[in-house]
């Protein structure tokens, strides 16, 4: 049976550390009544891109992507859910609901937040880092996950890192301006000046 937790205790922290992927869900509000556009769910890889900052605060490195739905939605209304799902022998789903904010390279908090992520691994490639999403968690809940299949991780892909490292800073900035300035519903995501910022 599912349980609600007051904070991320040691057992939950260990569960999070074992997961090789997590999922992020957001949704826009396009009218005063709260009607929205396209709900977005994004898978996030690389274990070294997620950090627990405190009992009810987490953050993750947001890497280069072909869109910027999460950034646009969080900028607009802050609402975000992060889900960890075990594909191992222990069946479990853990959801972190909260209020997020975007920190971009060059922001006063960037260096302090970036220090929470390891200096090795795919996520440490500075070329790929376009933002850090910080989430103040207001609900922590698990569920059984009994219908989730057991699967084994073969390896993490390095395609994103290789893709970004082939581009010059100017080329990467141009790509982000083209692909990451607005959501598919037309909400501002990374503005051209933010999209062009390099860590």
Any idea what DSSP says for residue 34? -
Retrieve residue 126's tokens: 């500075």
Retrieve residue 134's tokens: 């910080």
**Average pLDDT of the residues in 23-38:** 88
Coil, helix or strand at residue 16: helix
Coil, helix or strand at residue 79: strand
- Give DSSP secondary structure letters for 123-135: GG-GGGEEEEEEE
pLDDT tens for residues 84-122? 999 999 999 999 999 999 999 999 999 999 999 987 788
The whole-model pTM stands at 0.92
Distance of CA 62 to the CA centre of its chain: 5
Report residue 1's pLDDT band, with 50, 70 and 90 as the boundaries. Answer: low
| Run of H or E residues at 43 | strand 40-44
Angle formed at CA 42 by CA 174 and CA 132, multiple of 5 degrees: 60
Q: What pLDDT is attached to residue 188?
A: 93
Q: Which of 55-69, 78-92, 127-141, 162-176 has the lowest mean pLDDT?
A: 162-176
Q: Where do the domains of the chain lie, and which CATH numbers do they carry?
A: 3-195 (2.30.110.10)
pLDDT tens for residues 175-198? 999 999 999 999 999 976 555 554
Any idea what DSSP says for residue 189? -
CA–CA dist 43, 174 (Å, integer) = 24
Q: What pLDDT is attached to residue 192?
A: 62
């Amino acid at each position: 049976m599912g349980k609600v937790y007051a904070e991320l205790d040691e057992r939950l922290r260990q569960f999070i550390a074992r997961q090789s992927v997590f999922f992020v869900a957001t949704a826009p509000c396009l009218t005063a009544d709260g009607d929205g556009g396209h709900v977005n769910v994004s898978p996030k890889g690389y274990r070294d891109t997620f950090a627990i900052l405190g009992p009810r605060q987490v953050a993750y490195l947001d890497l280069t992507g072909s869109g910027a739905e999460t950034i646009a939605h969080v900028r607009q209304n802050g609402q975000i859910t992060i889900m960890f799902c075990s594909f191992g022998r222990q069946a479990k789903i853990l959801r972190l609901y909260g209020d997020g904010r975007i920190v971009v390279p060059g922001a006063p908090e960037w260096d302090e937040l970036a220090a929470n992520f390891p200096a090795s691994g795919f996520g440490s490639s500075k070329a790929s880092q376009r933002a850090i999403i910080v989430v103040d968690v207001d609900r922590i809940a698990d569920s059984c996950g009994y219908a989730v299949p057991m699967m084994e991780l073969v390896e993490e892909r390095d395609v994103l890192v290789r893709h970004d490292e082939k581009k010059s800073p100017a080329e990467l900035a141009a790509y982000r301006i083209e692909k990451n300035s607005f959501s598919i519903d037309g909400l501002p995501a990374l503005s051209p000046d933010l999209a062009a910022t390099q860590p």
